[in-house]
Amino acid sequence: MRKPVLWPGIIAFALAVLVPTVALAAPLVQEEVPADALWITLAPLIAIATFVERILEIFWDRWEAPGVWPNRKGVPNSSAPDYIRSKKAWSQWLGTLVAIFAIGLTNVRMFRLLGFDVLFSNLLLFTSGVGGIFDQFTVGTLIDWLLTAGIIGWGGTELVHNIIEGLIKGRNLWKEMREVEAGRKSILDARFFGEYIAPELEKRGVSVTGLRNLFQTLTSVGLAPDPLLASLTTGQVDRLLAQLAAHPDTAPAAQAIRTFLDGVPPEKRPEIPNLLALLTPEQRRRFLGA
């Protein structure tokens, strides 16, 4: 009978030991993490799951073969339903135990890799000072350890693959939904500004182009539009103009403000800040440049 090959299990376990260092250096899973980065981050889980499966295959091959330790009697009928059920149950428990051992050596924990806080992660049990899983060992570490081992032991590589694929598909779906929502919001913002704000400004003698140019002029000399809007509300524009005109650097801004206000009736000026207050800072930057 052909002896089972140990190399796949050895290689998988070596990957499980070496890959976490690279994986933990990668960004934790967030909204904009690329799919490839997510695969790289969770690759140690696949390596450990593959290692566990190879160990179980080797164990059951030897268990069922007659004349081989640890079961020299062998298994007369490995296709018997009762034996298959018993083998599956034992495989799940043995796989979990092997996964616990592998995770303890590598500190590869699913929720830690995903960047999720497990319950009681701040409840420190002990710290060994030697690094790895037993350094800063919390209740959350124990929960994460057991959950990850259970997922690998009871689900194997197929479940780990499905979890990663589900995370990737969910991230992509969420990203698409955000893009759709952002597009819808952009259209609504444009309609709101074009159908309400712009006409209301024009009724008060203010053109959108003129207001945008004024804001750009203020920005170019290092001034924010807010003091101008505040002076329009309080009726103290002349004081602001005098202050700006007194300095050579800001004198062009004073002239731009005078030119802009020439076409705006004095009684309409306080209404301009009220209209612009209906815009969010993002909308104001988008449509008016400041």
* 224 pLDDT higher than 80: yes
The verdict on 242 and 121 lying in the same domain is: no
The verdict on 71 and 12 lying in the same domain is: yes
Look over the chain and give the mean of its residue pLDDT values, rounded to a whole number: 82
Is 235 among the domain residues? yes
Is 69 among the domain residues? yes
Ranges 98-102, 113-117, 211-215, most confident: 98-102
The verdict on 149 and 221 lying in the same domain is: no
Is 121 among the domain residues? yes
Residue 206: its pLDDT value, please?
86
Span 22-64, pLDDT tens digits: 333 333 334 444 556 777 778 888 889 889 999 999 999 999 9
Mean pLDDT of 182-209: 89
The verdict on 26 and 151 lying in the same domain is: yes
Alpha-carbon dihedral sign for residues 58, 104, 94, 157: negative
The verdict on 153 and 232 lying in the same domain is: no
Residue 5: its pLDDT value, please?
43
For the ranges 16-20, 75-79, 102-106, 127-131, the lowest mean pLDDT is seen at 16-20
The number of folded domains in the chain is 2
Q: Whole-angstrom Cα distance, residue 81 to residue 79?
A: 6
The verdict on 39 and 134 lying in the same domain is: yes
Question: Tokens 């182009």, residue?
Answer: 209
Percentage of the chain beyond pLDDT 90 is 27
Task: Provide the domain limits for residue 230.
Answer: 206-288
The verdict on 145 and 215 lying in the same domain is: no
Span 32-41, pLDDT tens digits: 445 567 777 7
The verdict on 16 and 140 lying in the same domain is: yes
Cβ 133 vs Cβ 103: under 8 Å: yes
The verdict on 154 and 37 lying in the same domain is: yes
For the ranges 6-20, 31-45, 93-107, 211-225, the lowest mean pLDDT is seen at 6-20
Residues forming beta bridges with residue 126, ordered by sequence position: 137
The verdict on 230 and 158 lying in the same domain is: no
3-state DSSP of the chain: CCCCCCHHHHHHHHHHHHHHHHHHHCCCCCCCCCHHHHHHHHHHHHHHHHHHHHHHHHHHHHHHCCCECCECCCCCCCCCHHHHHHHHHHHHHHHHHHHHHHHHHHCCCHHHHHCCCCCCCCCEEECCCCCHHHCCEEHHHHHHHHHHHHHHHHHHHHHHHHHHHHHHHHHHHHHHHHHHHHHHHHHHHHHHHHHHHHHHHHHCCCCHHHHHHHHHHHHHCCCCCHHHHHHHHHCCHHHHHHHHHCCCCCHHHHHHHHHHHCCCCHHHCCHHHHHHCCCCHHHHHHHHCC
The verdict on 132 and 236 lying in the same domain is: no
Residue 8: its pLDDT value, please?
43
Last residue of a domain, one of 157, 177, 197: 177
Span 225-267, pLDDT tens digits: 888 888 888 888 888 888 888 888 888 888 888 888 887 888 8
Q: Which amino acid is at 158?
A: E
Is 271 among the domain residues? yes
Q: Whole-angstrom Cα distance, residue 49 to residue 11?
A: 12
Is 48 among the domain residues? yes
Is 90 among the domain residues? yes
Last residue of a domain, one of 135, 162, 177: 177
Is 2 among the domain residues? no
Please, which pLDDT band fits residue 99 given cuts at 50, 70 and 90?
A: very high
Please, which pLDDT band fits residue 214 given cuts at 50, 70 and 90?
A: confident
Is 198 among the domain residues? no
